[in-house]
Amino acid sequence: MKADLLVEGSFDNAIQGVDGVFHTASPVSVPYDDNVEKTLIDPSVKGTLNVLNSCKKATKLKRLVLTSSCSSIRYRDDAQQVSPLNESHWSDLQYCQRYNLWYPYAKTIAEKEAWRVAKECGIDLVVVNPSFVLGPLLAPQPTSTLLIILAIVKGCIYCPYKAGVLGEYPNKRLGFVHIEDVVTAHILVMEEQKASGRYICSNSVQHMSQIIDMLRTKYPSYPFENKCSSQEGEDMPHSMDTSKITELGLPPLKTLTQMFDDCIKSFQKKGFL
């Protein structure tokens, strides 16, 4: 069965008759191209609304689980002051525009629109907000986000704000989470009847310089860059409160070391390193 995020009604047949829907698809588009409206924002927002509209027509649907992101939570001027950030916090769209952070901009709008439609139509919506997802490759080619890690290890860092490659690593501070924990979280919030609202799924927050130091110690043969990008807007100190998903029953999250080990070993096994 084929479906297109930008085609209204495209998911009607797929959703009709099911008890639950996971909407996980969203473009990341790294590095950003010159038409973020078409390649990133529209597919994210319109795609989410198209899935919601198909859910409205489904007669047996009990719950929709949407994959959002911590990117819809952490981009705000007061992130450090209000930390630990929790599910009540939202990214500031003006902040995202100021620093050309179009992925969090799109994710924030898409999630807010999902909540609006779900409330209007009585859809039981639960949202998982994972941070930067790591772990072994599940597809033949690395995802857009894993390409960032691959570039870091190879010493040729992608700049997510313009086409091309820079000889520096991103000036970015963010949380990380293992793909297996994200999958477990999605299944948990789908099956647990008392699940409601948003759920942050994230391990420790680290600056990319800390990640590179950790990886350089363990994998000294790779040509990691020493220079940090001057890009602003993504390096704000903050922390994330994961108590809500833990209290719902999510097992302890995998460690930062395990996330990156699984990721890099997968790169090696598939011939990318």
The residues carrying an active-site annotation are 107
Contact 50, 12 (CB under 8 A): no
pLDDT confidence of residue 107: 94
Residues in the chain, how many?
273
Tokens encoding 266: 């997968």
4, part of any domain: no
Is residue 92 within 8 Å of 75, Cβ to Cβ?
yes
Query: Is 152 within a domain?
Result: yes
- Say how far apart CA 229 and CA 225 lie, in whole Å: 10
pTM exceeds 0.85 for this model: yes
| Assigned domain for 5 exists | no
CATH number at residue 225: 3.40.50.720
The CA distances from residue 116 to 52, 56, 142, 190, in Å, are: 10, 13, 33, 20
Q: What pLDDT, on a 0 to 100 scale, did the predictor assign at position 34?
A: 66
Query: Would you state the pLDDT for residue 163?
Result: 43
> Is 7 inside a domain boundary?
no
Determine contact, residues 264/219, Cβ cutoff 8 Å.
Answer: yes
CA distance linking residue 85 with residue 76, whole number of Å: 11
Instruction: Identify the pLDDT of residue 28.
Output: 58
Count the domains in the chain: 1
CA 209 to CA 33: how far, in whole Å?
A: 26
Instruction: Assess contact for 272 and 149: CB atoms under 8 A.
Output: no
Is residue 91, in this structure, part of any structural domain at all? yes
3 belongs to a structural domain: no
- What's residue 29's pLDDT? 53
DSSP string covering the chain, please? ----TTSTTTTHHHHTT-SEEEE------SS--S-HIIIIIHHHHHHHHHHHHHHHH-SS--EEEEE--GGGTS-STTHHHHPSB-TT----HHHHHHTT-HHHHHHHHHHHHHHHHHHHHT--EEEEEE-EEESS--SSS--HHHHHHHHHHHT-EEPTTSSSEESSB---EEEEEEHHHHHHHHHHHHH-TT--EEEEE---EEEHHHHHHHHHHH-TTS----PBP---SS-----B--HHHHHHTPPPPPPHHHHHHHHHHHHHHTT--
**194 domain-assigned:** yes
Task: Note down the domain range covering 96.
Answer: 12-269
pLDDT of residue 72: 97
What one-letter code names the amino acid at 72?
S
- pLDDT-flagged residues of the chain (< 50): 159-165
Q: Is residue 253 part of a domain?
A: yes
Write out pLDDT tens, residues 86-113.
Answer: 999 999 999 999 999 998 999 999 999 9
HSE value, Cβ hemisphere, 13 Å, CA-based, for 130 = 20
